Amino acid sequence: MCEVCQALADTTESVSGLSADCPASTLDSGTYRGDNVVTIYFVQDGDDANAADEIYDTSGSDEMESEGWSDEEIEQFMKAVATISNYIDVTFEESSDPDADFQVVLDDNEFSSSGALGYFYLPSYAGDNSSVMGAFNSNGLGWNEDGGLEAGGLGYSTIIHEALHGLGLAHPHDGDSILNGLVEGASPFGEYGDYDLNQGIYTIMSYNDGLYTTPAGLNEGNSATPMALDIAILQEIYGANTTYNSGDNVYEIPDNDDAWISIWDTGGEDTISYSGTKDVTIDLREATLIYAEGGGGYISGADGVAGGYTIANGAVIENAIGGSGDDTLIGNGADNELTGNGGNDELVGGTGDDDLDGGSDDDTLYGDSGSDDATVSSGNNTIYGGSGFDDLDGGSGVDTIFGGSGDDNISGGGDDDTLYGGRGDDDINGDAGADTIIGGMGADTLTGGAGADTFVFNAMSDSFVGNGDTIVDFENGSNTIDLSAFGITSAEVTLNTSSGNTTVLIDSNGDGTDDMAILLTGTTSVDVANDFIF
């Protein structure tokens, strides 16, 4: 929160079962509610909360009287706490009973000297079902500003923060356990801890609102849901909502300052999408819940915009679509579809069998592990297949393509491309243009296509005798075989012709044993002096 809040109860030992090595464990107060339906009474004008047997009082008065709630304030309060139910097996209901589970007071007099936005009592013990009181400052930052009580506003975020105290969550900076890198007793403002986990984008229980690189305002840029660390401990204690967002969902990244949301998705084929012109990062990896980059989630958002997404641990989002800027799209362990569209994009596929489409302009595609399809339509692109059996297509433009360790299909497309097969038995086609084709290890099938192509061999193991490479369209006087890596001369090369084909045999050390063989199919017209580079 932007100003101090107060959670009123003593914390005890952990109840969540999370390891101390998990940063979410610092939110464990040792208390929680025992039922999964929480009733809320909005204390009326002039009344006291029945649960306030011990009043948090900053002005010297003996009572805190509610000034009453407007219909709009009640509506937004219920909307805010309803977001909690999207993640866990707990629901919230408005009640007219003054002895409801949550008794919430709206006031400003008792907050005047502290500037606090609110406070909330923690449950008294693990499994407590008694009533607790919370109070909110009607004159606090983000409460009365336009949009302050809408998703992304500070008032809306404050409601969720305080309600989570009522469910037993502590701050990450105080109590018996604090985030690594924070100093006990020191101010939590502007102190982010190890891996910058002490900020609102990772836990709404932090006092550092939103994301520090795009500072939050009073009506935008704040967390509008529990975030990944909050969700982890809430689900450990109360159980996960197993039906929320179970269909095919599209999560749109905002183009202007909005809200930070942690995605919880239980099924379907889902997409994070951006349709604007800014550079965007879409990262489909879930929060790891360890002290490392990504421990509190990986951020998806447009550059300079205070709003976007992280993905809660246990949620899987399959697809990402970029806009017309220079985008970075990162996959996960699922079979992802990553679409860059316009701009100079970087697509990283992750460990599944991914479809990567860079779109136009100059893109870089990484297939990683898995059997991936990587395609670009135009531009001067770089594609890395990684491990797995990949289909890689350069499209038009001057492309550089690396096949990796599997049996890959590589197509250069138009223009002058450089194609590396890597390991595996690859099928490489240069298509149009003057291409450079390096099959690498394995029994590769190489097609130059139209244009003056060069086939490069850098090691004798690139084309073993008896299990070597095949060049299917070698043209005398147009194509070239580059053997310059071996330091040999034409004297070490023998051409054997049979059945309309030519076998190139290379004895690199003159011991009478062939070290390398290349089959050229469909031609017997080969000139050692002119068709080879030594």
* pLDDT for 375: 94
Model pLDDT for residues 183-209, shown as the tens digit of each residue:
887 888 999 999 999 999 999 999 999
CB-hemisphere CA count at 13 Å for 59? 14
* pLDDT for 514: 97
**Amino acid at position 242, single letter:** T
pLDDT grade for 48, boundaries at 50, 70 and 90: confident
- Specify burial of residue 5 (Cβ count, 10 A radius: 0-12, 13-18, 19+): buried
Mean pLDDT in residue range 219-246: 98
pLDDT grade for 9, boundaries at 50, 70 and 90: very low
d(CA 245, CA 263): 9
DSSP run (H or E) holding 83 = helix 71-85
* pLDDT for 199: 97
Integer CA distances (angstroms), 394 to 373, 378, 386, 402, in order? 11, 8, 15, 11
Instruction: Sheet containing 364-366: give its strands across.
Output: 301-302, 280-283, 328-330, 346-348, 364-366, 382-384, 400-402, 418-420, 436-438, 454-456, 480-482, 532-533
pLDDT grade for 19, boundaries at 50, 70 and 90: confident
DSSP run (H or E) holding 476 = none
> Is CATH 3.30.70.20 correct for 244-373?
no
Selected from 3.30.1380.10, 3.90.79.10, 3.40.390.10, 3.20.20.70, the CATH number assigned to the domain covering 5-231 reads 3.40.390.10
CB-hemisphere CA count at 13 Å for 94? 12
Model pLDDT for residues 116-151, shown as the tens digit of each residue:
899 999 999 999 999 999 999 999 999 988 999 999
Average pLDDT of the chain to the nearest whole number: 93
Model pLDDT for residues 79-98, shown as the tens digit of each residue:
999 999 999 999 999 999 99
Model pLDDT for residues 275-310, shown as the tens digit of each residue:
999 999 999 999 999 999 999 999 999 999 999 999
Model pLDDT for residues 425-438, shown as the tens digit of each residue:
999 999 999 999 99
Q: Taking each helix axis from N to C terminus, what angle separates 154-166 and 71-85, rounded to the nearest 10 degrees?
A: 60
User: What are the residues whose beta carbons fall under 8 Å from the beta carbon of 141, sequence distance 6 or more?
Assistant: 2, 3, 115, 117, 148, 154, 218
Question: Could you tell me the residue ranges of all domains in the chain?
Answer: 5-231, 244-373, 380-534
d(CA 6, CA 33): 18
pTM flag (> 0.85): yes
Please report, rounded to a whole number, the percentage of residues in the chain having pLDDT higher than 90: 85
Check pLDDT > 80 for residue 44.
yes
pLDDT grade for 61, boundaries at 50, 70 and 90: very low
Mean pLDDT in residue range 399-411: 95
* pLDDT for 187: 85
Check pLDDT > 70 for residue 53.
no
Integer CA distances (angstroms), 82 to 121, 125, 155, 225, 504, in order? 19, 24, 15, 9, 73
Please report, rounded to a whole number, the percentage of residues in the chain having pLDDT higher than 70: 94
Instruction: Sheet containing 91-95: give its strands across.
Output: 5-8, 118-121, 132-137, 102-107, 37-42, 91-95
pLDDT grade for 62, boundaries at 50, 70 and 90: very low
Q: Do domains 5-231 and 244-373 have the same CATH topology?
A: no
Other CB atoms closer than 10 Å to residue 430's CB: what's the count?
A: 30
Mean pLDDT in residue range 471-490: 97
d(CA 346, CA 202): 25
* pLDDT for 51: 65
Check pLDDT > 50 for residue 109.
yes
| CATH number for region 380-534 | 2.150.10.10
* pLDDT for 59: 45
